[in-house]
Amino acid sequence: MKKEIENLIKENFKDTALRIYELDNEDRKSLLAEYREWIMNDLDFEEVMMLPYEAYTDKLDSNFLEDSL
């Protein structure tokens, strides 16, 4: 489990590095502040991270779109 989380963090960090060029200054600061918090604090591997469905899939839940209308 710990190795899986480490791999997810590395993948997320890579994606963030690529996204930085697409963000404006304020969004870039906000994103980096969030990652700084993750880097500076010890990771709690027992803590569950809640992610939206779209964060870990390539598919968009069509029912979600219909329900939100």
Span 3-38, pLDDT tens digits? 887 888 788 888 888 888 888 999 889 888 887 887
Q: Which carries the bigger pLDDT value, residue 69 or residue 13?
A: 13
DSSP per-residue letters across 4-38? HHHHHHHHHHHHHHHHGGGS-HHHHHHHHHHHHHH
The structure's pTM equals 0.45
Q: Give yes or no for residue 44 having a pLDDT over 70.
A: no
The predicted structure's pLDDT at residue 2:
77
For residue 36, the model assigns a pLDDT of 84
Question: Looking at residue 45, what is its pLDDT?
Answer: 61
